[in-house]
Every structure is written in structure tokens, then in C-alpha cells.
């Protein structure tokens, strides 16, 4: 008979543990919901997207999420040189109308000069 009472007690303890774990999850969930609501409110007021939060947490941004619709896309910070014209650094020896600033993708004529090792000959001197 001692065996039956021990098994009964173990079953009661296991049932109580399951009940306590469920209660713990419910309470934590309630706390998490409040915290998430605050985070969403702060992100929305700051114009931060869910993808930006995910990236800041070290994760990969996934497709569209519900939180993304809450916050408008934050404007990107502009560099001090954004929108400013830059003087050309290279001029095509074959066609003087073709120039390149040295920024961005190389035009084909620059690629050809670079491959030939004669790109320095196309540099525009400061006196020009």
C-alpha cells in the first residue's frame, strides 16, 4: 500500500508543478505584453521599424511583420557630402567629354585603362 500512496503523491506533485508552470507562463506573458506595448509605442514615436529593431538585436530582418506596419520607415541619415557635386578626377583620353569622379562604378573606358595599367595617364591635373 505504501507504493500506491507514493505514486499518488508523485502524481499530485507533478500536477501541481504543471499548474504552477502554467501560472508562471501566464504571469510572464502579461508582463511581456506590457513591455512589448511600451517598446512598440517608443519605436513608433521614434520612427523605428521592426527590421531595424531586429537588426539591432543581432538577428536577420525577415519579411513584413505586424510591428513594421506600426512604425513608419525612419529616414536615413544623410552624409555631409550628399547631393554635392564632386569635381571629375579622370578624363577619357579618347573622348574628352567622358569624365569620372573616382566614385561609384567605373565606366568601361576607366576599366579598360585600369586593366592596361595606364589609368594614371587619364588623371586630371589640378591646373587643368
If you write DSSP's letter for every residue of 17-43 in order, what string do you get?
A: HHHHHHHHHHHHHHHHHHHHHHHHHHH
Q: What is the pLDDT of residues 93-127, one digit of tens each?
A: 999 899 999 988 999 999 999 999 998 889 998 76
Q: What is the pLDDT of residue 70?
A: 46
- So where are the chain's domains? 2-70, 78-128
Biggest CA–CA distance in the chain, Å, is: 107
For 102: left if phi > 0, alpha if psi spans -120 to 50, otherwise beta; the answer is left
Q: Assess contact for 96 and 67: CB atoms under 8 A.
A: no
Strands (DSSP E) along the chain, which ranges? 90-91, 99-100
Q: Is the pLDDT of residue 89 over 90?
A: yes
Amino acid at each position: 500500500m505504501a507504493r500506491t500512496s507514493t505514486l499518488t503523491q508523485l502524481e499530485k506533485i507533478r500536477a501541481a508543478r504543471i499548474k504552477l508552470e502554467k501560472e508562471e507562463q501566464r504571469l510572464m506573458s502579461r508582463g511581456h505584453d506590457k513591455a512589448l506595448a511600451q517598446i512598440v509605442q517608443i519605436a513608433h514615436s521614434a520612427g523605428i521599424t521592426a527590421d531595424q529593431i531586429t537588426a539591432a538585436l543581432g538577428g536577420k530582418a525577415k519579411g513584413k511583420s505586424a510591428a513594421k506596419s506600426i512604425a513608419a520607415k525612419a529616414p536615413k541619415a544623410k552624409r555631409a557630402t550628399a547631393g554635392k557635386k564632386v569635381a571629375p578626377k579622370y578624363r577619357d583620353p579618347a573622348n574628352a567629354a567622358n569624365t569620372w569622379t573616382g566614385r561609384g562604378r567605373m565606366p568601361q573606358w576607366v576599366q579598360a585603362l585600369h586593366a592596361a595599367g595606364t589609368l594614371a595617364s587619364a588623371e586630371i591635373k589640378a591646373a587643368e
